A and B are shown apart, each in its own frame.
Chain A
Amino acid sequence: MTTTRQLEITGAGSRRTRPGIEWLSRYAAGTTLVVVLCIAAVVTPSFYSAGNLRTVALQAAALGVVVLGQTVALLVRGLDMSVTAVIAFSGVLVVSAGAPGQAFWLLLLAAGVAAVVGLTNGLLITWRKVPPFVATFAMLIVVGGCRLAYTHGQTSGSAPGWLRQLGSGSLLGLPMPVVIWVVLLIIFWLALARTRWGRWIYAAGANPEAARHSGVPVGAVVLSAYVVCAFCAMIAGLVLSGYLGYVDANLGVNVNLNSITAAIIGGVAFSGGRGGVLGATLGAILLTVLVNVVVVAGLPVYWQIIAMGVVLVLAVAIQGLRDRTIADGS
């Protein structure tokens, strides 16, 4: 259509967003986490036993790595529903063909799968203009189907030593998965906050048209986001299968939705361009802690899922209110 030619006059003093909402949307995950940790200290002191904390850390690490990638996909106004399948398939590949001395080739194979999945997702979305949900969901079915065709539903063998080392070894007293997670977190934080690529990710998500006008190669940036996301899923798959020592159909089964939930709770906007990996990581920790506290407290398992659902709806409500005050204010 033709351009609007309405006389648009932006007053200098646009109304302020309510500071409370702004604060909530930024620090909700952290605040809730602190509250939950305090409650846990009172109700279930055993949460703080060394063994349990280690478990929490390991679980949070696997989810946390995926959340990093999912956050990047969300930032460019997308989402990735195929992470579950990539986790499981890359796990299967490295575990089942586990002859010694093949580590390098297996890793290369898993990386190849991640690259193909990420590129296909990205191309469907940027080039074929398929809605991200549909594109990545189609990939979920295909990659899941590949895994099933490859394994015939069998639980896959035993993990080779180097993979076990990756999953349950430790470095400087820290569990290996946590080390990997923290290293990746630092890399992602630096990449998003301190590189040109990171700026492009935010710009392409916040306003693709304006980004294009500002010389941002929007298509390539969005494509890269899905490749990055697929690689995160692959790494999580390796870590998880190394930790468990085997791979079955349940590997990573809830990670799809949990990773999106964690990112949203952590203040990443579903509408793109806003939020960051630090918040999303807090979201991942919060989710893991919630689930664990329920178990340690001896509550029925379903409380986990109910708690997650409630936290998510609250997070969404805060974001919705924030967007609304912004829309009113400008």
Chain B
Amino acid sequence: MSLTLERPVVGERRAETVSAVRRHGAVLFIYSLVVILLIAASAVSSDFRQPSNLIDVLRQSIVLGLVTIGQTYVLLAGGIDMSVGMTSRVVALGTAVAMSHTLIHPYVLILLGLIGGGLIGFLNGRLITGLGAAPFIVTLGMMGALAGTALAISGGGPTDAVPDFFLAAYDASMGPIPVAVLVMAVIWLVAWFVLSRTRFGRNIYAVGGSTAVARLAAIDVRRTQTSTYVIAGVLSAAAGLFLLARSGVGDPSLGGNLEFQSIVAAAIGGISLYGGRGSLVGSLGAVLLVSLSSNVMNMLHVSAYYQDLALGVIVLLGVAVYRPRRSM
């Protein structure tokens, strides 16, 4: 008996190509924008096509990149994290103050900072899964509480300067490429690998797709969701520490708006705000696009006054062509 359900499709390969394009439409769209922008800007501006400038683009993408990875994890599992920006602020300020006022070794403090970020995420996760409350509101409350804490730590002004070695770490480079950029590349790779090649990663997609189906498949839904908030917390803390190293002092306004930028970057990159759909490849594209467009605008001497408007129009257009897919 040769029974098969596959309908005989003429030109099956073509159909497969079409389906691949549709499947990855958002990702292809974002990367073609990146490429177009790269080519156009290189043609117009000689400053832009300097290797050092291109490396700068990558370095400027690190902070948003870290936070967006965490946000992507949370969104894929069906949540949202509004507290990422304030997490990075609290951790950065706390670490800066501790570095200048205690004798604990800076490396230990950095580690403590990352753990602190993880704890904030854990608290978010437990509150959300335990109360069954809307993630947006819980993390919004967390955001408020953290903003207050940050203000308490800094007293409203910049903190003392951080140790020199910390600044040196920011500037360190291997050949022409900054170490920070290399580390970031590794983080992207690991994050992508975990999401696409581990059970935990696949469980995230399952939970975001349908908690009911995930439960039927014996997946621990609460633990999976909580873990994504912990990851977002740790990565936000890392972003805060990186910002600290960049500026050398604990800036009390650091990390503002990161929550919005990361959510919008993920959304543009094709991550569904309803969970379960999208990939980190898209998020990376969106982060590069944001970092690239602000660099291009600087290179083209677009007045800072118009940059926000330009960025806003891009986001608006991206959102307007957004096609929701709530099939099945």
The B236-274 residues at the A interface (CB cut-off 8 A) are 260, 263-264, 267, 273-274
Q: How far is the CB of A87 from chain B (nearest CB, A)?
A: 16
Looking across the interface, which residue of chain B has its beta carbon closest to that of A317?
A: B131
Residues from chain B with a CB closer than 8 A to the CB of A133 are 80, 136, 263, 273
For the complex, would chain B's binding face be called helix, strand, loop or mixed by DSSP majority?
helix
With A149-B305, A310-B145 known as contacts, the answer to whether A134 contacts B310 (CB < 8 A) is: no
Looking across the interface, which residue of chain B has its beta carbon closest to that of A131?
A: B273
Residues from chain A with a CB closer than 8 A to the CB of B186 are none
Residues from chain A with a CB closer than 8 A to the CB of B136 are 133, 270
| Listed stretches B47-55, B95-103, B314-322; interface member | B314-322
Q: Is A313 an interface residue when CB atoms closer than 8 A count as contact?
A: yes
Q: Is A137 an interface residue when CB atoms closer than 8 A count as contact?
A: yes
| Listed stretches A53-61, A276-284, A319-327; interface member | A319-327
Contact of B306 among A141, A149, A271, A304 (CB under 8 A): A149
Measured in the bound complex, the distance between the Cα atoms of B128 and A316 in whole Å is 10
Looking across the interface, which residue of chain B has its beta carbon closest to that of A307?
A: B148
Measured in the bound complex, the distance between the Cα atoms of B314 and A141 in whole Å is 10
Measured in the bound complex, the distance between the Cα atoms of B80 and A271 in whole Å is 15
With A138-B319, A302-B152 known as contacts, the answer to whether A312 contacts B144 (CB < 8 A) is: yes
Residues from chain B with a CB closer than 8 A to the CB of A270 are 134, 136-137
Measured in the bound complex, the distance between the Cα atoms of B140 and A305 in whole Å is 12
Contact of A138 among B146, B152, B264 (CB under 8 A): B264
Q: Is B313 an interface residue when CB atoms closer than 8 A count as contact?
A: yes
Q: How far is the CB of A144 from chain B (nearest CB, A)?
A: 6
Looking across the interface, which residue of chain A has its beta carbon closest to that of B273?
A: A131
Contact of B319 among A135, A151, A302 (CB under 8 A): A135
Residues from chain A with a CB closer than 8 A to the CB of B148 are 302-309
**1/0 contact trace for A273-311 toward B, CB 8 Å?**
000000000000000000000000000111111111110
Measured in the bound complex, the distance between the Cα atoms of B273 and A285 in whole Å is 32
Measured in the bound complex, the distance between the Cα atoms of B303 and A145 in whole Å is 12
Contact of B322 among A130, A153, A307 (CB under 8 A): A130
Q: Is A36 an interface residue when CB atoms closer than 8 A count as contact?
A: no
With A130-B319, A312-B137, A312-B144 known as contacts, the answer to whether A148 contacts B132 (CB < 8 A) is: no
Residue contact A145 to B133, C-beta cutoff 8 Å: no
| Listed stretches A203-211, A227-235, A256-264; interface member | A256-264
Measured in the bound complex, the distance between the Cα atoms of B192 and A120 in whole Å is 35
Q: Is A139 an interface residue when CB atoms closer than 8 A count as contact?
A: yes
Residue contact A301 to B309, C-beta cutoff 8 Å: no
Residue contact A323 to B132, C-beta cutoff 8 Å: yes
Residue contact A309 to B319, C-beta cutoff 8 Å: no
Q: Is A33 an interface residue when CB atoms closer than 8 A count as contact?
A: no
Residues from chain A with a CB closer than 8 A to the CB of B156 are 301
With A312-B137, A313-B142 known as contacts, the answer to whether A145 contacts B309 (CB < 8 A) is: yes
Residues from chain B with a CB closer than 8 A to the CB of A301 are 151, 156
Interface size, chain B (Cβ < 8 Å): 48
Residue contact B264 to A134, C-beta cutoff 8 Å: yes
Residue contact A264 to B137, C-beta cutoff 8 Å: yes
Contact of B142 among A129, A302, A309 (CB under 8 A): A309
Contact of A300 among B131, B152, B264, B316 (CB under 8 A): B152
Q: How far is the CB of A147 from chain B (nearest CB, A)?
A: 9
**1/0 contact trace for A119-155 toward B, CB 8 Å?**
0000010001111011101111111111011011100
Residue contact A146 to B328, C-beta cutoff 8 Å: no
The A219-258 residues at the B interface (CB cut-off 8 A) are 257
Q: Is B163 an interface residue when CB atoms closer than 8 A count as contact?
A: no
The A28-64 residues at the B interface (CB cut-off 8 A) are none
Residues from chain B with a CB closer than 8 A to the CB of A260 are 140
Residues from chain B with a CB closer than 8 A to the CB of A151 are 305
With A130-B319, A130-B322 known as contacts, the answer to whether A152 contacts B145 (CB < 8 A) is: no
Residue contact A142 to B147, C-beta cutoff 8 Å: no
Measured in the bound complex, the distance between the Cα atoms of B200 and A29 in whole Å is 41
Q: Is A1 an interface residue when CB atoms closer than 8 A count as contact?
A: yes
Residue contact A305 to B151, C-beta cutoff 8 Å: yes
Measured in the bound complex, the distance between the Cα atoms of B152 and A321 in whole Å is 31
Q: How far is the CB of B240 from chain A (nearest CB, A)?
A: 18
Q: How far is the CB of A150 from chain B (nearest CB, A)?
A: 8
Looking across the interface, which residue of chain A has its beta carbon closest to that of B128?
A: A320
Residues from chain B with a CB closer than 8 A to the CB of A138 are 264, 312, 315-316, 319
Measured in the bound complex, the distance between the Cα atoms of B170 and A56 in whole Å is 46
If A1-B328, A149-B308, A300-B152 are given as contacts, then 7 extra A-B residue pairs at C-beta distance below 8 Å, sorted by A number, are A133-B136, A138-B312, A140-B260, A141-B311, A146-B309, A152-B305, A313-B141
Considering the complex of A and B, which 6 residue pairs feature the smallest CB-CB distances, nearest first?
A: A309-B145, A305-B148, A145-B309, A309-B144, A141-B312, A142-B312
14 pairs, CB–CB < 8 Å, chain A vs chain B: A131-B273, A131-B274, A141-B264, A141-B308, A153-B305, A271-B134, A301-B156, A302-B150, A302-B151, A305-B151, A309-B146, A309-B148, A317-B127, A320-B132
